[in-house]
Amino acid sequence: MSTLPTIDMALTGQNIVNLRVNTGLSVKNLQDIFGFATPQAIYKWQHGTTLPSLDNLVVLAAVFQVQIDDILVARYV
């Protein structure tokens, strides 16, 4: 049986931080882009507590000018 990938939430969160910083955006900038009332969702993504929904991943990929696969970090267990 082949090994299937799982998403490493902590590394994905760190990747979101790195992409955000490399793009020159603050958490507040992302909050405004998404129209969130508070930045809590973004902090949860960055800390690896939750993952962005698929539609939010599409927006993140567009904002960071990367593919969704460049945001998610998969590991094989």
What is the per-residue pLDDT across 7-31, written as a single tens digit (0 to 9) for each? 999 999 999 999 999 999 999 999 9
Quote the pLDDT of residue 1.
56
Q: Which two tokens stand for residue 23?
A: 């793009």
Domains of the chain listed by start with CATH number: 5-76 (1.10.260.40)
Burial of 23 (0-12, 13-18, 19+ CB in 10 A): middle
Per-state percent for the chain, helix, strand, coil, to nearest 5 = 60, 10, 35
Contact 7, 69 (CB under 8 A): no
Contact 72, 9 (CB under 8 A): no
pTM of the model: 0.92
Contact 68, 52 (CB under 8 A): no
